[in-house]
Structures are given as C-alpha cells and as structure tokens.
Amino acid sequence: MKTVTRLSLAAAVALAVGSCGGMQSQQSGMSFFVTSAGSAKGADLGGLEGADRHCQSLAKAAGSGGRNWRAYLSASASGGYPPVNARDRIGRGPWQNAKGVVIASNVDQLHGANNLTKETALNERGGMVNGRTEKPNMHDMLTGSTRDGRAITGGEDTTCSNWTTSGAGAAMLGHHDRQGLRDDDASKSWNSSHLSRPSKEGAPGCSQAALQGTGGNGLFYCFAAN
C-alpha cells in the first residue's frame, strides 16, 4: 500500500513538472500578447520607447524577455520626424500567443484574414482579456492606426500626442474581441475601430478614466520583432 502511494506521488510530481515544463516551453516561444496592464497615466506611455519598454518588461516577467518586443502603435509626423507605422515596427512574423497558437504568419495576413480573436488575443501570462460582454469591459486596445496598420494622416490627434499625454486628445482604438455596438466592419476591427473620447464626467480623452469609459483599460498589443 505504501509502495502504491509513493508511486502515485512520484507520478503526480512528474506530471506537474512536465506540465510546468510544457507551459514554460510554450511561453518561451511566445511572440505576441496583449498587455496584462497598461500605464497608470492612461495613454501616456512615455512615447513609443516607453511602450516598447513596457512590452519588454511584461515579457521578461513571463519568461520571454530574450526577444526584441515592440508595441503595436503608430505615431504621427511631428517635429520634423516622419510618421511611424505600427506594421513596420513588429518584424515579419509568424507570431504566436502564450499557448502556441499562431495568430498570423506575416504582416499581410495580420492585416487581413488573421486568427486574432478574444480566445487567441491572450496576455503574456496566457490569460484571456475581458471582452465587451464582461465586466469590466477591456476590449479597447490602443493602436493609433488605420486598419492596414499605418499612421493616420490629417490634423486630428489619434495617438494622444504620440503616446505622451493623459490629457486632452484622442487615440484610435481596436477591439481585441472583434465586437462592438454594431455589426459592422469598424466594430469587428482589431486595430482601428473608434477614437477615445472624454468621459461623461469630463475626464479628457487620453486619461485612464476616459479609456475605461469607452470599454478599455489602456492596454495594447505587443509583438516580438525577432
């Protein structure tokens, strides 16, 4: 009887170790995730560099810090510098989530018939992010981008001053769960659905309160560029 107990315990330990090893193996191969947390300053991410650092930090904590992580964010032309396209920052692909599911094989597929859904757009720990039907709703992702992943032209602020302000302004948002108030292309867009706006209480459009008010939490996508 004791022998059976010992064997059962040994088998259980081996199974647990194998499971942990499998999870670590999957996460070491992770090349895409949704941030589990945003900035305490709403859309003020410290610019593109600050957003990249946030991706790198979260990836490192999840055991995938050995890659070059980039935030999927576009930036407008400013101060003599040309615009930056999100699609040009993230490498060539393919990209897979923390559970090894491929969301896109290349940049063109990512901006076309991709496999990005609520079930596959996981955070760096492999957890699902709340969608439109859950409370609190966190489906709005910061992108500042058109549907083909490029910076938005024109005079309107769509990047919260290139991700440096939590005050007045706006950010283009996408829906990671591909759901919205209407059954249209904008509501189903993962990267270019609608602009943020001031909250009902008057909080400016780039603030955390405003982002939460439209169904977000200041989260964004991270991709491994290598």
Q: How far apart are CA 195 and CA 225, in angstroms?
A: 27
Tell me, yes or no, whether 70 lies in a domain.
yes
Cα–Cα distances in angstroms (integers) from residue 92 to residues 63, 66, 168, in the given order: 22, 17, 34
Number of domains in the chain: 1
* pLDDT, tens digit (0-9, with 9 covering 90-100), for 86-118: 999 999 999 999 999 999 999 999 999 999 999
Domain residue limits at 186: 31-224
* pLDDT, tens digit (0-9, with 9 covering 90-100), for 167-205: 999 999 999 999 998 888 999 999 999 999 999 999 999
Tell me, yes or no, whether 190 lies in a domain.
yes
Q: What is the CATH number of the domain that holds 54?
A: 3.10.100.10
* Main-chain phi, psi angles of 111, to 5 degrees: -100, 20
**Statement: residue 8 has pLDDT above 60:** no
Tell me, yes or no, whether 2 lies in a domain.
no
Tell me, yes or no, whether 95 lies in a domain.
yes
- Which tokens is 10 given? 């040994």
**Statement: residue 23 has pLDDT above 90:** no
Tell me, yes or no, whether 13 lies in a domain.
no
Tell me, yes or no, whether 1 lies in a domain.
no
Tell me, yes or no, whether 21 lies in a domain.
no
Tell me, yes or no, whether 5 lies in a domain.
no
Residue 36: predicted pLDDT: 98
* Main-chain phi, psi angles of 67, to 5 degrees: -115, 165
pTM above 0.85, yes or no: yes
Return the amino acid letter for 52.
D
